[in-house]
Structure 1
Amino acid sequence: MTALPAQHRGPAPHGAPRGLAGFNAATPAEAQALLLACCHSHRWAERVAAHRPYPTVDALLAAADEAGYDLSRADLDEALAAECSAVPHPDAPPAARTALRAAHAAYESGFGHAFVISLDGVRPGERLDRVLAGIRSRLGNEPEEERVIAAEELRRLARARLAFRFSEALTLRHTGS
C-alpha cells in the first residue's frame, strides 16, 4: 500500500515470527516473508534477513534503511510493482474519492507505477490532503528525479512497516494476547 500507514498493510503473514527474538530465530524463508510484506524487493529482504541476528529493533531498522539505499533499478522496479494506490477513508466525501482516483491515475500514467509516500507521523485527518498535495507536486518531476523520490519514500515506508510489525508483536507479548 502506498500512502496509508503501516498498519493498513494487513496482518503479518500466517506463522510469522513474533518479536525480534522470533525474527532472529526464524528460518530464512519466514524472515524474508515478513520482510517482503514491508518492501517487496527480494534482494532487500534477503539482505536484511541474512544479517540476523539483530541485537535491537533499532539495529534491524538501520539495516533495513541501509539495504533500502542500495536498491538497484531492478530492485526498485520490483518493489514499486507490488505497491498499490491508497484509497481514501470510507468516510471521505465523494469529491475527495474522485480527486484521489484521478490524481493516482495521472501519476501512474506518467510514471508507470503506484504513487508512494510515507505518511508516518501524519494525523489521519491530514492524510488525504498530504497524498493529493504530494501527487500534485511530484507530477511535474522528470522520470529520473521521481525515481529518486519514490525510492526514498519506499525506504521510509519499509522502515515504518517494519517498526509497526515489531511494535505490534511487542504490544501483543506485553498485553498477553
Structure 2
Amino acid sequence: MRGLTGFNAAAPVEAEALLLSCCHSLRWAERVAAHRPYPTLDALLAAADEAGYDLSRADLDEALAAESSALPHPDAPPAARTALRAAHAAYESSFGHAFVISLDGVRPGERLDQVLAGIRSRLGNEPEEERVIAADELRRLARARLAFRLTEGLTARHSGP
C-alpha cells in the first residue's frame, strides 16, 4: 500500500489490516476504513482521532489487550532495564493491561526516562482516571503509527540500496 492514495484505493480488508496495526480495535479500524477516500493525510488523522474518542469500553479493552510493554533498548544500563521491567509489571498488575504512552516528539535519549516517569506517576491513578489517560495515549499512538505507515514507513520500505 503506497501512501494515502494506496490506502484510499485498497480493498477494505487491506485498509482495515493497516489500521489494526496502528490500533487493535476492530470497530475503530472498520469505522476509519469505511469513510475513505480521505482528501489529505490530515483528514485521515482527524477521522482516526474522532473514531478513537468513540471507543466503547470493550473496544478500548480490545485495543489495550493487543499492546505490549516496550522493552528498553539493549544498550540501556542493566539497572534501567530492571527498573523498567519492574515498573511495567507493577502497572500491569494494577490496571490489567500494558502501559501505553506516546513518545512522539521525545528525543531517543530521553525516552527511557520518560517511560519510567510516566509509569511511576500514573501508578497512583484510580482505575477510571487511568483508563481515560490510557485511551488518550492510545489515540496519540494510533495517530503516530498511522502517519508513519503512510509516510516515512513507505520511504524506508521502498527505497533501494
TM-score between the two structures when normalised by the length of structure 2: 0.96
Superposed displacement of residue 18, structure 1 = 1.4
Query: Letter of the aligned partner of 1:84 in structure 2?
Result: S
- Map 1:149-164 onto structure 2 (within 5 A): 149-164=133-148
Aligned twin of 1:129: 113
Query: In the alignment, is the contact (CA less than 8 A) between 1:44 and 1:67 conserved in 2?
Result: yes
C-alpha separation in 2, matches of 1:123 and 1:142? 29
Alignment equivalent of 2:12, drawn from 12, 28, 35: 28
Aligned twin of 1:72: 56
C-alpha separation in 2, matches of 1:170 and 1:78? 27
Query: Letter of the aligned partner of 1:38 in structure 2?
Result: C
Mapped pair 1:120 → 2:104:
yes
Aligned twin of 1:168: 152
C-alpha separation in 2, matches of 1:20 and 1:169? 12
Aligned twin of 1:99: 83
Identity of aligned residues (%): 88
Aligned twin of 2:68: 84
Aligned twin of 2:127: 143
> 1:33-57 CA deviation, whole Å, 9 max, x = no partner?
0000000000000000000000011
Aligned twin of 1:6: none
Aligned twin of 1:41: 25
Q: Between Structure 1 and Structure 2, how many residues are aligned?
A: 161
TM-score between the two structures when normalised by the length of structure 1: 0.87
C-alpha separation in 2, matches of 1:122 and 1:70? 27
> 1:4-47 CA deviation, whole Å, 9 max, x = no partner?
xxxxxxxxxxxxx1111110010110000000000000000000
In structure 1, stretches of 5+ residues that fail to align are 1-16
Query: In the alignment, is the contact (CA less than 8 A) between 1:117 and 1:153 conserved in 2?
Result: yes
**Root mean square deviation, CA, Å:** 1.6
In structure 2, stretches of 5+ residues that fail to align are none
Superposed displacement of residue 172, structure 1 = 5.7
Determine helix, strand or coil for the equivalent of 1:54: coil
